[in-house]
Amino acid sequence: MELFAITDDKHSIDDLASKIIQIIDVVDFVHIREKSKKAGEVISLINLLKINKVSMEKIVINDRLDIATLSNLSNFHLPSQGLPIESVKEYFPNLRVGQSVHTLSEAKKAQSNQADYVLYGHCFETKCKDGIPPNGVNQLIKIKKSLNIPIYAIGGITLDHIQLLKEIQVAGIAVMSGIFSSSDPYKSALQFYEKVQDHL
């Protein structure tokens, strides 16, 4: 099972770079999802990471194909209402492209449109979606049975949820506030990583 750390759009470029550098060795991917920042700011972030020898193979850019291609990255993620996956794959066949989904039908469509993986949520109650009921794990189970591509879970995931998600056999989990809102991002990321890697 893999661990995605998803940025929470609440930090300056310098602070965010520092947090990513701290956790990069104990996560499989860092998903940069900074909707409020301008393209130049995100490119500055990526350049800071490159200067500090962060592996670009671990970096995923959300929704900004221009940034992903200009920065020569290999991982790109689309929101559920983003660019057409099939067009992105046609013009940039070397990109690994994922998509966020919330229903079984969206997941099936993403797979048929050549998505390399889907990110399903939100699974559990979370402050990021305050007042919005979670989609739950029952639908996640149906998606897992229906798709041939990897499925990652997101939304309110705590350490206590990981065993259940392992039993469903998702490819991995994505954590946002549990890492980036922590006073000690490295410690929090390490706790998730160890739990994810634990085979007992």
C-alpha 157/C-alpha 124 separation (Å) is: 6
96 touches 85 (CB < 8 A): no
pLDDT digits (tens, 9 = 90+) for 34-45: 999 999 999 999
Tokens 């602070």 belong to residue: 15
Three-class SS state of 151 = strand
How many CB atoms are located within 10 Å of the residue 53 CB?
A: 8
Number of structural domains (the chain) is: 1
96 φ, ψ to 5°?
Answer: -85, 115
With CA atoms as reference, report the closest residue to 116 among 137, 145, 93: 93
C-alpha 88/C-alpha 116 separation (Å) is: 12
- Domain of residue 166, CATH code: 3.20.20.70
Active site residue 122: yes
Strand partners, 120: 101, 153
Question: What pLDDT is attached to residue 143?
Answer: 95
Kindly name the residue from 11, 31, 77, 122 that is annotated as catalytic: 122
Question: What pLDDT is attached to residue 199?
Answer: 63
Residues of the chain with pLDDT under 50: 200
5 φ, ψ to 5°?
Answer: -105, 120
Question: What pLDDT is attached to residue 128?
Answer: 66
Cis preceding linkage at 122, omega within 30: yes
155 touches 142 (CB < 8 A): no
Residue 54 belongs to domain spanning: 2-197
What tokens were used for 28? 């499989």
Torsion of CA 75, 172, 101, 47, to 10 degrees: -30
